[in-house]
Amino acid sequence: MTKILSGLHVALLTGFTDAGEYCAKRQENILGYVLRQNVTGLFVGGSSAEGALMSFAELKQQQVQCRDSAKATGKQLIAHVGQPSLKESIALAENAAALGYDGLSALPPHSYPFNQQEIFEYYRALSQATDLPLIVYEAPFRTGRPTPIDEMVKVLDLPNVTGLKFTSSDLFGLSCLQKARPDVAYFYGFDELLSSAYALGVDGGIGTTYNVLGNLYMAIHEAAQANDLMRMRELQMISQDYVRAIIQTGVMPGTKLTLEILGVDCGPSRAPFTLRGDNPRKIIEDAVNAPGFRDWIAK
């Protein structure tokens, strides 16, 4: 049985001007490249979009632009609406529903050290705001702590919660959740370990480096469906080499620099993000020219 929203979704980057303003033209350049890839859909307005650095008005504008660009492609659209303010999160969710998005997702509130009950109430209010399926998060690097299994199960049992984006290396915890709630769609969030999560039976992934290598990750997905372990391992190593490079340069700035090197004018990341290292361009150029990398870029 195919679960709701299952598959591979690009955690879409945002196009900014050199001065750091939202740039519809550069956003369209990113969309043009991403939509040529063999992926299931777009994940709009999340961490990879630098959404926490964007205004409410910019996030709404981005939702509209992505809907308009993707509507003829048949690709799914998931709006990330997780803001520190529950009021703004609900307003973004309502906007996405009105635009015809296929689903929603939200980080737990992350500006303060909210306790688990506060996070649960946040997700309960958001799940009731629209009829769209909602993907919640397990992201210890955001909350500062892993969510106990029984507490996460309570969140997964909320109305309209149909999926979990699991961004943690605790694969045992993932397996425990899958056993407790097998009907939930599980999406893995660490691109460099996607094949490991597929070995445990996840339903898809949501990732930053899919912006560049969505075709590669879909090939990992297909190898998983074919139970081809050797192929999964071979493809994952290409992903890992690239992730190793962008960790050195900064993940979002390095991914955008990759697209620039590939001919996509997408602009810089918004301050305070900056490229890291003594020679980030060389690091990324070496990654792009590594064996196997260019076999997977969008044509």
Over residues 198-216, the mean pLDDT reads 97
Taking each helix axis from N to C terminus, what angle separates 56-70 and 24-34, rounded to the nearest 10 degrees?
A: 40
Domains and CATH numbers, the chain: 7-226 (3.20.20.70)
Q: What is the DSSP letter of 49?
A: G
- pLDDT of 142: 75
- Where are the alpha helices (H) located in 106-228, listed in sequence order? 116-127, 140-143, 149-156, 171-180, 194-199, 210-225
Average pLDDT, rounded, for the chain = 96
The secondary structure element, H or E, covering residue 55 is none
* 1 — pLDDT class (breaks 50, 70, 90): low
**Considering the entire predicted model, what is its pTM?**
0.97
CB atoms near residue 166 (< 10 Å): 27
Task: Tell me the Ramachandran region of residue 16: left when phi exceeds 0, alpha when psi lies from -120 to 50, beta otherwise.
Answer: beta
Measured CA to CA, the distance from residue 9 to residue 29 in angstroms comes to 18
Catalytic residues: 137, 165
CB atoms near residue 243 (< 10 Å): 23
Place of tokens 């993707």: 70
- pLDDT of 111: 79
- Mind listing the pLDDT tens digit for each residue in 99-135? 999 999 999 988 788 999 999 999 999 999 999 999 9
Q: Which of 95, 162, 78, 74 is nearest to 123 (CA)?
A: 162
Over residues 142-170, the mean pLDDT reads 94
